Amino acid sequence: MILRFAAVVVAALALAGPAAAACSHPRTSLTYLEGQVMCPTCHTTLDQSNSAAAQQIERFISQKIAACWTSERIESALVANYGPAILAAPPHKGFDLLAWWLPIVGVLAGALVLAFGVWRWSRRGGSEPEEPSDSGLDEETERRLDDLLARFD
């Protein structure tokens, strides 16, 4: 029984060893690429889709992973077949760089505007002018009014 088990383990290792060693780099995974690649008919990533087109691409990716293709090579093959829209994120080059930089620029600009607003508000708060008197009358009129009222006391 033990001999049989040992034979099975040795056979499994003998089969798995060359397959694992065949890749000179870490294997990419279907789970990773499912989040990077779009389903062309449903416009969601593959991991969100169960359509026939998505399943076809998943099969393609699995075959290429088994053949030791890198994720970059698989993505390039998909782009060659479906065009750049097959990728969930735009490439880091050319006009597509705008898609990466614009949100960062937007957030920074927003933060600057906010910081400027807070700075101005705090400055205005520090040198706030004294409130005018409740009556809104000048000193002379107020004095004359006091004199007039004093006559009735």
Residue 113 is a binding residue for other proteins (CB under 8 A) = yes
Q: Which of 30, 82, 90, 91 binds other proteins (CB under 8 A)?
A: 82
Angstrom CA distances, 108 to 95, 104, 111, 113, 114, stand at 20, 6, 5, 9, 10
Shortest Å distance, C-beta 42 to other proteins? 10
- In the complex, least distance from residue 31 CB atom to other proteins, rounded to whole angstroms: 20
Q: Taking CB under 8 A as the criterion, which residues in 44-73 touch other proteins?
A: 52-53, 55-57, 60
CA distances (Å), 125 to each of 66, 118, 120, 133, in order? 67, 10, 8, 19
Between residues 68 and 82, which has the closer beta carbon with respect to other proteins? 82
